[in-house]
Amino acid sequence: MTRRLPVLAALLAFAAPAVADQHEFTTIYDGKDLSKIKTEGNWKIQDDGSLFLEPRPGEKGWQRYGSYLWLKDDYEDFVVDFEYKHPKGGNSGLYFRISDESDATAHGFEVQILDCFGKEKLGPHDLGGVIKTAGPLVNASKKPGEWNRMIVTLKDGKLTVELNGKKVQDGLDLAARKPKGKDLAAQGKIAIQDHGQPFWVRNIRVKRL
């Protein structure tokens, strides 16, 4: 019996860091609590726990509207992990380092979310691309109506994006590749775009690095 104790202790020691790492994430939306989110109100909690963006009367896709889904705190380096889905033709985006909330596009960077299922030639405005900066490495899109999981990591100005288990950005140097006239703020807000189209999110969590 005594011979097994060192083995057990070693296994527990090996497992401990992984457990601790999981605890570093903060749940932003768990299916019922909106206290860590700021928005104007047309994001509605659904029976399945997802959060649904319902366009207001007269709103049409391919225009930007004001009801972004904002995380309340500012973030420097981070990992943000969430799931989303959209109908055919869906369009949204994950914004970060937004220095001025009056215009996320002008004062932040965007990882594009777009219905690109089956598309072969991809650029910066396609799913997983960084707008005006870099196209995705691969097309990791699922069919419209299916849940996608996106994990966005920003560390020391370098961006990695994992979509449905595939890396679509791998250490992209935003300081070196930034569009002309745009700077990467030292810290800023994180937000999910309101594009005037139906859009669902769930299981939003974030970790500071």
Residue 70: is its pLDDT beyond 60?
A: yes
Topology, domain 26-208: Jelly Rolls (2.60.120)
Q: 140-164 pLDDT, tens per residue?
A: 999 999 999 999 999 999 999 999 9
The answer for residues whose C-beta is within 8 angstroms of residue 74's C-beta and 6 or more apart is 187, 188, 189
- pLDDT given for residue 208 in this prediction: 97
pLDDT in tens, 108-121: 999 999 999 999 99
Q: What pLDDT sits at residue 7?
A: 47
In the chain, DSSP assigns E strands to: 26-29, 37-38, 43-45, 51-53, 69-71, 78-85, 91-98, 109-114, 148-155, 158-163, 166-173, 189-192, 199-208
What's the pLDDT tens digit per position in 82-101?
Answer: 999 999 999 999 999 999 99
Place of tokens 């070693």: 10
**Predicted local distance difference test score (pLDDT) of residue 121:** 94
The full set of domain ranges for the chain reads 26-208
- Interval 68-88 mean pLDDT: 97
Q: What is the pTM of this model?
A: 0.86
pLDDT at 12: 43
